[in-house]
Homo-oligomer: A and B are copies of this chain.
Amino acid sequence: MSKVSVLNPEEPIKVQMENLIRQKQKEIVAGLESVETKKFHPDEWKRGENGGGGRSMVLADGTTFEKAGVNISVVHGTLTPGAITRMKADHRNIKTSADGTVGFFAAGLSMVIHPWNPHAPTTHLNYRYFEISNPDGSTQTWWFGGGADLTPSYLYPEDAKLFHQNHKAALDPFGKDLYPRFKKWCDEYFFITQRGEARGIGGTFFDDFDELPAQKCLELCEASFDAFVPSYVPIMKRRKDLPFTPEEKQWQQVRRGRYVEYNLIYDRGTKFGLETPGSRVESILMSMPKTATWLYNYEPEEGTREAELLEVVRHPIEWV
């Protein structure tokens, strides 16, 4: 990718991150619209009496996409004691004000795409910056988090390889250890314990990341953003018009049930969002598929394409 960067090291990290996600929202929406006949609709929102707001770009009942959302949010305010406690597992040194709260700033882009065709994978991407302020308003601590991953109902190894290869190439300039660590982290993080299954075939995931200077972290996010469209759009071109049977559509619906289970039971972003006062439930639960199915005690037969997918989510493999 030889795009012109929107990052300007002379501006504060907060401002650069906001500029970055605004730009990447446009580029991702344009990329997705290149394989879709309908347009995304903008939906601006404010966080009520609290600080900040966001801009959702949403599409429902498209020709390629059943439900798709590319959401940016820039919010700030005061964290609840509950949120601080959960955060302190990773950030034990947080100093609170006399009333037990801390000021925060968060900016991120979050995307979930559910295509119609059961041969086309669901995908998720999110990059975010988080800052905690001291009681006097100065920055106390900061970190980046994010990643991108693929959740197919049917396994196409060439799709998995392309997605992983591009995301590895984006990370390699920042440290050869990053892709292997973030790939493993992704497999472990998006894990549905009660099913003994990863949510999908993985990708990258990182959180609480402050190992590099903040400016380098911004560049890492930018490079990772830029790996997405050249991965997902070619996959969609290959899969969006494949013929499928009602049984294949049903299997997709069962897998979407798993997606719902993961997001509502485990996902840290969803939990954090739902517990943040004044947050917007529709933007947080934009990640839900339009439709999902739960069948009692359903297990595909050995040797089928469905069993092949289960095997790879139960035993994640190295794609690069």
Q: Once the chains are docked, how many angstroms separate the CA of A297 from the CA of B193?
A: 30
Determine whether A6 belongs to the interface, using a CB cutoff of 8 Å to chain B. no
Contact (A274, B265) CB under 8 Å given A60-B295, A295-B290: yes
Q: Once the chains are docked, how many angstroms separate the CA of A304 from the CA of B15?
A: 45
Tell me whether A257 and B288 are in contact (CB under 8 A).
Answer: yes
22 sample A-B contacts, Cβ–Cβ < 8 Å, listed by A number: A43-B297, A58-B297, A60-B295, A60-B296, A67-B294, A67-B296, A69-B296, A253-B291, A257-B288, A260-B292, A264-B264, A265-B265, A265-B274, A282-B296, A285-B294, A286-B296, A288-B294, A289-B294, A290-B293, A290-B295, A291-B291, A292-B292
Tell me whether B193 and A274 are in contact (CB under 8 A).
Answer: yes
Determine whether A195 belongs to the interface, using a CB cutoff of 8 Å to chain B. yes
Residue of B69, B261, B282, B296 touching A58 (CB-CB under 8 A): B296
Which residues of B have CB within 8 Å of A281? 194-195
The 5 residue pairs across chains A and B that have the minimum distance between CB atoms: A288-B294, A264-B264, A194-B281, A194-B274, A282-B297
Interface residues, chain A, with chain B CB atoms under 8 Å away: 43, 58, 60, 67, 69, 193-195, 253, 257, 260-261, 264-265, 274, 281-282, 284-286, 288-297
Which residues of B have CB within 8 Å of A60? 295-296
Which residues of B have CB within 8 Å of A253? 291
Chain B residue at minimal CB-CB distance from A285: B294
Chain B residue at minimal CB-CB distance from A59: B296
> How often does this chain occur in the complex, in copies?
2
Q: Once the chains are docked, how many angstroms separate the CA of A297 from the CA of B42?
A: 12
Tell me whether B264 and A260 are in contact (CB under 8 A).
Answer: yes
Which residues of B have CB within 8 Å of A288? 257, 294
Q: How far is the CB of A192 from chain B (nearest CB, A)?
A: 9
Tell me whether B291 and A293 are in contact (CB under 8 A).
Answer: yes
Q: How far is the CB of A228 from chain B (nearest CB, A)?
A: 21
Chain B residue at minimal CB-CB distance from A41: B296
Residue of B265, B274, B291 touching A292 (CB-CB under 8 A): B291
Which residues of B have CB within 8 Å of A260? 260, 264, 292
Which residues of B have CB within 8 Å of A284? 194
Which residues of B have CB within 8 Å of A289? 294
Which residues of B have CB within 8 Å of A282? 296-297
Please give 19 more A-B residue pairs, beta carbons under 8 A apart, in addition to A60-B295, A194-B281, A194-B284. Answer: A60-B296, A67-B294, A69-B296, A193-B274, A194-B274, A194-B285, A195-B281, A253-B291, A260-B264, A260-B292, A264-B264, A265-B265, A265-B274, A282-B296, A290-B294, A290-B295, A291-B291, A291-B292, A292-B292
Chain B residue at minimal CB-CB distance from A253: B291
